[in-house]
Amino acid sequence: MPETSILDASQEVQTGETSKPSLKEMISAARDKEELAGLAEKLGLKIDSRMTIENIKKRLISVYKSRIKEAKDITQESTGKMATKEDPPVRMKFMIMDILNPDESPVFEFNNDCGKGVAAGGIIPKWSFMHGETYEVPYSIYEFLQTCTIPRSKWIEDPSAPSGLRSVVFQQKRFNCELVLSKEEVLKLRKTA
């Protein structure tokens, strides 16, 4: 089934950024062991210096793929518990806006009950996402991710400041989530509009 990506055009205007490459893309593009060592650290791994660059890349991509599967399994289980007719599942592509932050893990995890209270057994569902991957989640989780921001600061010119510069704090979108619709879903939306 062909898919079409629906982008919120205002996101790029609000953040001034586009999404970053996935960790897999960064691993594939890495040119030396030092660069690969930094990427391995994001996965919680250390590199054996005796390995070739190609073998390091293969190993990192293998671990990356297993983390993707784990994240998708966790999120799929939570979606099965929390999606309802009033909060239907939607497919979205998840992107962390500052993936190149050296302290950032490629996996983003949190607990959220979709505003429904705790699930059976008193456990709040866990959600797990990896940058650049597509997930099916209740619409309320998609909305939640779209509202997450982080404080950032930048220097602006200010003639009244002693140095001529002043630091301003602003809120930057934390994630960019694109809804992914099938051709049939797009046609259905066009008919109702």
Given a cut of 60, is residue 115 above it in pLDDT? yes
Question: Which range has the worst mean pLDDT, 61-70, 71-80, 140-149, 183-192?
Answer: 183-192
Do residues 7 and 178 touch, judged by C-beta distance below 8 A? yes
Average pLDDT, the chain: 80
What's the 3-state SS for the chain?
Answer: CCEEEECCHHHHHHHCCCCCCCHHHHHHHCCCHHHHHHHHHHCCCCCCCCCCHHHHHHHHHHHHHHHHHHHHHHHHHHHHHHCCCCCCEEEEEEEECCCCCCCCCCEEEEECCCCCCCCCCCCCCEEEEECCEEEEEEHHHHHHHHHCEEEEEEEEECCCCCCCEEEEEEEEECEEEEEEEEHHHHHHHHHHC
Higher pLDDT, 3 or 92: 92
> Which pLDDT value is given to residue 105?
66
In this structure, what are the phi and psi dihedrals at residue 44, rounded to the nearest 5 degrees? 75, 25
Q: If pLDDT is split at 50, 70 and 90, which confidence band does 90 have?
A: very high
Q: Could you give the CA distance from residue 106 to residue 66 in angstroms, rounded to a whole number?
A: 13
Q: Smallest Cα–Cα separation from 173: which of 155, 146, 140?
A: 146
> Which pLDDT value is given to residue 77?
92
Given a cut of 50, is residue 114 above it in pLDDT? yes
CA-angle at 32, arms to 31 and 33, nearest 5°: 145
Given a cut of 50, is residue 127 above it in pLDDT? yes
Mean pLDDT over residues 87-106, rounded? Answer: 75
> Which pLDDT value is given to residue 91?
93
Q: Where are the domains of the chain?
A: 20-192
Q: Please report how many Cα atoms fall inside a 13 Å half-sphere around the Cα of residue 6, on the Cβ side.
A: 12
> Which pLDDT value is given to residue 123?
76
pTM check: above 0.75: no
Quick: pLDDT tens for 98-107: 655 545 667 8
> What percent of the chain has pLDDT above 90?
22
> Which pLDDT value is given to residue 10?
32
Mean pLDDT over residues 164-187, rounded? Answer: 85
Q: Could you give the CA distance from residue 39 to residue 26 in angstroms, rounded to a whole number?
A: 8
Mean pLDDT over residues 142-154, rounded? Answer: 89
Find all residues with CB under 8 Å of 178, minimum gap 6, and list them.
Answer: 5, 6, 7, 8, 92, 93, 95
> Which pLDDT value is given to residue 19?
56
